[in-house]
Structure 1
Amino acid sequence: MATPSSARKGSPVSDSQPLVVHITGARPNFPKAAPVIAALGDYPVTQLLVHTGQHYDEKMSEVFFRQLGLPEPDVNLGVGSGAHGAQTAAIMVGLEELFADRRPDLVVVYGDVNSTVAAAVVAVKMGIPIAHVEAGLRSFDRRMPEEINRLLTDRISDLLLVTSVDAIAHLGHEGAPADSIHFVGNPMIDTLLRHLESLDTEGVAASVGLDTTQPYAVATLHRPGNVDDPADVAELVRAMHAVADQVKVVIPLHPRGRGRLEEAGFMDHDNLSVIDPLGYVEFLGLVKGAAAVVTDSGGVQEETTVMGVPCLTLRPNTERPVTITHGTNQLVQRDTLPGAIADVLAAGRQETWPVPPLWDGHAGPRIAAVLAAHLGLSTSHD
């Protein structure tokens, strides 16, 4: 296991300062963690940033640290890819050694990836308090590995930091103590709003061969329900080709499932352009100018909601229903996708749209305040 070089600092450090360990591991974690780490720097606390290496290539992880202003991780476990059990076990082994060596006062986990649940299990078994950022989201579909991760992590976490009102209700129904639930907003939106005005749609579009005088769609597709089963893949190819019959489509294609899609002829359409995964600001720049987004990702539903971009989520359910009730998202199936894209293109983008409560760019400071209160801290300026 990699060993820490130096701990990330808040205000001036002493041995008596509490240690907060942040666990990241996959692309969706990084824009959630960045504003929390920055805001917690206003308190007398030592911070340690751990990257498990669950996403390990340049475009899936390292570029995010540079673009989001995240410091280099103090620890990189380097677990890489693998089956769910093997990957989760490798993370647990590495974190148990780290927590034994540098006993945290609080472990902060983000989202719903394998790194999240692995860290929570290790921490609870060692008697270390856990804060779960993005708690309470539910798809109610236990076929999704992420749903299992969410359920387990929330059940054993001490602080449940939620992004939407529906998440509060879910946690309440599951018996979570009311004083453990904190409605703080969405830290990923903090990161988006920080970069929004500087996004270079024209530049990134030109770099991938798009003419922005013409409408285009962006697609992100990687969920097992779309890319694992050959029959599903065949249906997906037909649906996306029908979309490409109507509008130019650019797809930064996740490594997961790429081989199956290629074998099924996914790329065999002149109006469909497959590119490698993009960095954070490049991807959002592309999305910002899109006529529509087709996705099976969770975070993209949130980002399009804030930017006012029509989002067609190619799934039977979503753990983010607030993006439908207070955003630009709608659920579609493979057979209804071509008709849905036609409707979106005909309607055009709205000039105004609803945004969920507390998605205002200040979730990071609210989360930091909850963490600090749990640790009995005041700001370094007090």
Structure 2
Amino acid sequence: MSAARRICVVTGTRAEYGLMRGLIAGIRDDDAFELQLAVTGMHLSPEFGLTWREIEADGFPIDERVEILLSSDTPVGVSKAMGLGLIGFADAFARLKPDLVVVLGDRFEILAAASAALVAGIPIAHIHGGETTEGAFDEAIRHSVTKMSHLHFTAAAPYRDRVIQLGEAPERVFLVGGLGIDAIKGLKLLDRAELEGQLDLEFGARNLMVTFHPPTLEPGEAAAQMQALLDALDSLGPETHLLFTMPNADTGGRELAAMVDRFVAARPHARVFTSLGQLRYLSCMRLMDGVVGNSSSGLIETPSFGIGTVNIGDRQAGRLKAASVIDCAPQQDAIEAALERLFSDDFRKGLAGVENPYGTGGATMAILDVLRRHPLSGLLKKSFHDIALATDTGER
């Protein structure tokens, strides 16, 4: 019998862990694998809720804790955090000696982990590559991690094409769909009464979930955009209850978090949570009239609940979007117009037939199947895959 494959999963945020929770469980419960779990970033920060405790409560022992976050969200602070991450993951991988490292997405913590694995000669499997987010530097990080990786699990056909366009061999690029759909289908969601009791809140006649992250490619604009959003939400009045989740640990995130805290403190119909956890987050989403902000969750998970999304600004520009997503500029009048459309009868009637471009589920099992059967020997041997390009013969 062949030895179990040592699979090291890296997670740095609550959202990323929520997406991979089923995959982590699948690796743990399969005799073909030995699960190693490396936790970093916001999971280890009191400011972001010490969400490593949720991971352990789910029954997953943590093998490595890689501390990287500083008390600064300036460009210098984030760059130093990446440096600490590279040092920490170099040590962690030297101790764990994984056969494969699994990472998801596009955050700076993941870039540090992938860089350390690359230098250590450890193959990398990357989930949710090939996507585009034109309003954040995550765009460049995502494609950089793609180039460091050896197996690729993409959420939609255009994203698979883009990974191949980046020079990755087609036989190593797998179309599996979005992991968030599996999370929705795999959980027994809480009902309204359970949520109101657990969270000590009361849902209103209308309810919105709000998450706004800094647009990191627009320096100096984040606070103005957040203020425009808060002013637009204020125009709805107290009959619309607001449930905020906090921004990520991105450049400028602390300023936005402080603005949300001040807004909520003055309005009894608004609440804010540092971390709801996956079960309560998705359970709340199901009861909302809409999701507002610039989080990828509003594009990937929300359409599966048959509710609308107001997607503000350019942070998610370039991602595939369902017909339930309303794009708007990050100005108060544009956001107010989008909210008016969100609540309109015509828009709400059309939500029943919306299809989610990220699939209908099954990504977890598809990834596990590849991790189980794909040869690991020779995986590091990699050449650039050239695609056929039309020849431009026009004169200059």
TM-score range, shorter chain: 0.7 to 0.9
Residue of structure 1 aligned with 2:116, choices 122, 129, 134: 122
Distance 1:284 1:201, change over 3 A: farther
Counterpart of 1:238 in structure 2 is 231
By how many angstroms is 1:233 displaced?
3.8
Gaps of 5+ in 1: 1-11, 378-382
Counterpart of 2:372 in structure 1 is 372
Residue 36 of structure 2 corresponds to residue 44 of structure 1: no
Counterpart of 1:321 in structure 2 is 319
Counterpart of 2:394 in structure 1 is none
* Secondary structure in 2 matching 1:257: helix
Retained in 2: the 8 A contact 1:249–1:271? Answer: no
Gaps of 5+ in 2: 248-252, 378-396
Counterpart of 1:220 in structure 2 is 211
By how many angstroms is 1:71 displaced?
0.5
Retained in 1: the 8 A contact 2:182–2:364? Answer: yes
Residue of structure 1 aligned with 2:43, choices 43, 55, 58: 55
By how many angstroms is 1:157 displaced?
0.6
By how many angstroms is 1:302 displaced?
1.5
Residue 65 of structure 2 corresponds to residue 76 of structure 1: yes
* Secondary structure in 1 matching 2:254: coil
* Secondary structure in 1 matching 2:374: helix
Retained in 2: the 8 A contact 1:164–1:183? Answer: yes
* Secondary structure in 1 matching 2:14: coil
Distance 1:376 1:251, change over 3 A: closer
Counterpart of 1:253 in structure 2 is 246
Counterpart CA distance in 2 for 1:219 and 1:368 is 33
By how many angstroms is 1:169 displaced?
2.3
Retained in 1: the 8 A contact 2:223–2:255? Answer: no
Counterpart of 2:250 in structure 1 is none
Retained in 2: the 8 A contact 1:120–1:130? Answer: yes
Moved more, 281-290 or 171-180: 171-180
Moved more, 248-257 or 120-129: 248-257
The 5 Å alignment of 1:24-173 reads 24-40=11-27, 41-56=29-44, 57=46, 59=49, 61-62=51-52, 64-65=54-55, 69=58, 71-81=60-70, 82=72, 83-141=77-135, 144-173=136-165
Retained in 1: the 8 A contact 2:36–2:96? Answer: no
Distance 1:192 1:243, change over 3 A: same
Counterpart CA distance in 1 for 2:100 and 2:56 is 25
TM-score (norm 2): 0.80
Counterpart CA distance in 1 for 2:32 and 2:267 is 57
By how many angstroms is 1:113 displaced?
1.6
By how many angstroms is 1:338 displaced?
0.8
Counterpart CA distance in 1 for 2:317 and 2:131 is 5
Counterpart of 1:330 in structure 2 is 326
Moved more, 249-258 or 303-312: 249-258
Counterpart CA distance in 2 for 1:18 and 1:209 is 45
Distance 1:139 1:276, change over 3 A: closer
Counterpart of 1:5 in structure 2 is none
Distance 1:366 1:319, change over 3 A: farther
The 5 Å alignment of 1:348-367 reads 348=348, 350-356=351-357, 358-360=359-361, 362-367=362-367
Retained in 2: the 8 A contact 1:315–1:331? Answer: yes
Q: Which residue identity is paired with 1:61?
A: T
Q: Which residue identity is paired with 2:245?
A: P
Counterpart CA distance in 1 for 2:257 and 2:5 is 46
Identity percentage over the alignment?
Answer: 20
Counterpart CA distance in 2 for 1:259 and 1:306 is 28
**1:12-40: per-residue Cα shift (whole Å, max 9, x none)?**
9x8x4332111111112212222222333
* Secondary structure in 2 matching 1:336: helix
- Aligned residues, how many? 355
Distance 1:49 1:368, change over 3 A: same
Distance 1:138 1:272, change over 3 A: same
Counterpart CA distance in 1 for 2:4 and 2:260 is 53
Residue 194 of structure 2 corresponds to residue 193 of structure 1: no
Q: Which residue identity is paired with 2:224?
A: A
Distance 1:77 1:365, change over 3 A: same
Counterpart of 2:393 in structure 1 is none
Counterpart CA distance in 2 for 1:124 and 1:183 is 23
Counterpart of 2:385 in structure 1 is none
Counterpart CA distance in 1 for 2:277 and 2:140 is 28
Moved more, 152-161 or 166-175: 166-175
Residue 272 of structure 2 corresponds to residue 275 of structure 1: yes
